[in-house]
């Protein structure tokens, strides 16, 4: 696919395979950097505030690793995308499950129920220092999730690595999804529309 960005360099501040795939699908070429931050040390009351604070903390950690003076002096602007996603279930924020038991309990709770994801994006123009952020919420409704499906997901292990043990795009879970109010890319961790909007805003400042 042709690149969308002849006039700027792009860094994705994430090690997430899903986010990498989404950004590639959007037609961008980018380099990867991940932020090593203690996510548990950042607590906010509202999920929207939490994910934005986490995305900003990730961006700050990556910016401090980079030679920002070098980025500022380059002719082409360098833009950093950082993001975070949590699952919200009955008003409680769910991050990655801490155990197999917790993952199983999470998925069982979704059966014939409803949950939501809240994703944040923070985009920083390293040349100008301008940063824009936003959040996107998606509501997800489920049919029954059979016990056999839950055990297969646990055995496979991928659900242990994602917020709320939620993988709606997974072939085992997909038939159990009744309705998604919002976009799948947002659930997977990088809402395309919001990301495009923020990229335009920070580049307008160059």
| pLDDT computed for residue 4 by the predictor | 58
| pLDDT computed for residue 66 by the predictor | 83
| pLDDT computed for residue 83 by the predictor | 95
Distance CA 63, CA 86 (A): 23
Distance CA 165, CA 132 (A): 29
Residue 173, C-beta contacts closer than 8 angstroms, at least 6 positions apart? 145, 149, 153, 167
pTM of the predicted model as reported, rounded to 2 decimal places: 0.87
| pLDDT computed for residue 67 by the predictor | 65
- Going from N- to C-terminal start, the domains of the chain cover 9-203
CB-count exposure of residue 192 (10 Å: 0-12, 13-18, 19+): middle
Q: Which residues are catalytic?
A: 84
CB-count exposure of residue 6 (10 Å: 0-12, 13-18, 19+): exposed
| pLDDT computed for residue 72 by the predictor | 56
| pLDDT computed for residue 201 by the predictor | 96
Q: Does domain 9-203 have CATH number 3.40.50.300?
A: no
Element (H, E) at 55: helix 47-65
User: What is the full per-residue pLDDT of the chain (206 aa) written as tens digits?
Assistant: 445 565 899 999 998 888 999 999 999 999 999 888 877 778 888 999 999 999 999 999 999 888 655 565 667 889 999 999 999 999 899 888 999 999 999 999 999 999 999 999 999 999 899 999 999 999 999 999 999 999 999 999 999 988 899 999 899 999 999 999 999 999 999 999 999 999 999 999 65
| pLDDT computed for residue 15 by the predictor | 86
């Amino acid at each position: 696919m042709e690149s969308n960005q002849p006039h700027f360099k792009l860094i994705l501040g994430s090690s997430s395979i899903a986010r990498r795939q989404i950004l590639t699908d959007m037609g961008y070429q980018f380099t990867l950097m991940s932020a090593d931050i203690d996510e548990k040390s950042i607590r906010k009351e509202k999920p929207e505030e939490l994910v934005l604070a986490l995305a900003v903390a990730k961006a700050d950690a990556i910016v401090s690793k980079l030679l920002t003076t070098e980025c500022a002096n380059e002719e082409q602007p360098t833009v950093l995308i950082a993001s975070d996603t949590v699952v919200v279930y009955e008003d409680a924020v769910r991050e990655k499950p801490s155990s197999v038991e917790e993952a199983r309990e999470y998925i069982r709770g979704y059966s014939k129920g409803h949950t939501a994801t809240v994703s944040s994006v923070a985009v920083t123009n390293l040349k100008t220092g301008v940063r824009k952020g936003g959040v996107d919420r998606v509501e997800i409704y489920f049919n029954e999730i059979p016990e056999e499906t839950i055990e297969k997901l646990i055995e496979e292990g991928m659900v242990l690595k994602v917020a709320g043990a939620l993988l709606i795009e997974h072939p085992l879970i997909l038939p159990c999804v009744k309705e998604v109010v919002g976009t799948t890319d947002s659930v997977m961790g990088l809402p395309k529309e919001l990301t495009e909007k923020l990229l335009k805003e920070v580049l307008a400042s160059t």
